[in-house]
């Protein structure tokens, strides 16, 4: 028992180390959201409530920007949901690895399901499919254990600092870098690559749509494409 606990703790710290490089972009990402939200008219409480409840940077940015542009609230909500539709695919992908975890663990993991915790964890699980369930759970929580506090903390700092952060610091560099770091390693299979290509093409083709509605269309079509390509490959086997 003691040896198992020691190994589980070791795996947890492996997750911490694997997720730590993302702190370099989570910090400016959180700062930027805090600044954008407060400049958009959100109070500090509203900014932090959105950060804690949604805990999804891309969806938060998209929704806040739409509200700033005067879009109806329901459009901002739908856009945030569309951006987060990828979490459905993340969950389906992790189910074979974490589906038998305890209920309270799955509830916490569903809350902490973000791009970084998914991307780092699924790569580890696919490289080490023999990992026991308790170690997979420990690894997931290890990855998110530093990322989530940094996201909360730097969103708070950004909300407090507001426009005091000079624009020449260009904090928005963190957004594309974060997603490149997450997406690039996963583009190893045809379904992933097909979904990525479709999302890019549709996004560019429909960029004229108001209220960033192209996000919803591109997300849905990309998921359909990835699923269909995967079914086609399975059928060929």
Place of tokens 């993302």: 22
Helix axes 103-111, 133-161, angle to 10 degrees: 40
pTM: 0.74
The reported pLDDT for the residue numbered 175 is: 55
What is the mean pLDDT of the segment spanning 3-31? 88
Where does the pLDDT of residue 233 fall: very low under 50, low under 70, confident under 90, or very high at 90 and above? Answer: confident
Give the residue with greater pLDDT, 166 vs 73: 73
Where does the pLDDT of residue 79 fall: very low under 50, low under 70, confident under 90, or very high at 90 and above? Answer: confident
The HSE-up count of residue 223 (CA atoms within 13 Å, CB side) is 16
Tokens of residue 28, six digits: 């400016």
pLDDT tens per residue across span 137-175: 999 999 999 999 999 999 999 888 865 666 555 555 555
Tokens of residue 74, six digits: 């329901």
Radius of gyration of the chain (CA): 19
Q: How crowded is residue 71: how many other Cβ atoms within 10 Å of its Cβ?
A: 18
Place of tokens 């940094």: 150
Name the least confident of 10-14, 109-113, 182-186, 193-197.
Answer: 182-186
Domain spans of the chain? 2-186, 189-237
H helical segments located in the chain: 2-19, 23-39, 44-54, 57-68, 73-83, 86-98, 103-111, 115-127, 133-161, 174-183, 190-205, 214-236
Contact at 8 Å (CB) between 216 and 75?
A: no
Helix axes 86-98, 103-111, angle to 10 degrees: 150
Contact at 8 Å (CB) between 22 and 146?
A: no
């Amino acid at each position: 028992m003691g040896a198992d606990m020691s190994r589980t703790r070791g795996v947890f710290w492996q997750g911490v180390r694997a997720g730590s490089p993302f702190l370099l972009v989570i910090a400016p990402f959180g700062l930027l959201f805090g600044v954008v939200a407060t400049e958009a008219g959100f109070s500090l409480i509203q900014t932090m409530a959105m950060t804690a409840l949604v805990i999804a940077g891309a969806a938060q940015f998209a929704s806040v920007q739409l509200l700033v542009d005067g879009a109806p609230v329901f459009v901002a909500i739908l856009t945030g949901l569309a951006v987060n539709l990828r979490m459905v695919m993340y969950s389906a992908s992790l189910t074979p690895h974490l589906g038998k975890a305890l209920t309270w663990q799955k509830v916490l993991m569903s809350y902490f399901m973000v791009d970084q915790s998914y991307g780092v964890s699924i790569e580890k699980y696919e490289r080490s499919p023999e990992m026991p369930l308790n170690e997979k759970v420990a690894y997931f929580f290890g990855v998110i254990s530093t990322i989530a506090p940094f996201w909360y903390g730097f969103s708070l700092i950004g909300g407090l600092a507001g426009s005091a952060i000079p624009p020449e610091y260009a904090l928005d560099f963190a957004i594309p870098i974060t997603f490149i770091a997450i997406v690039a390693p996963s583009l190893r299979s045809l379904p992933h690559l097909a979904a990525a290509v479709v999302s890019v093409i549709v996004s560019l083709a429909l960029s004229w749509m108001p209220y960033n509605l192209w996000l919803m269309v591109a997300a849905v079509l990309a998921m359909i494409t990835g699923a269909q390509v995967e079914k086609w490959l399975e059928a060929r086997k």
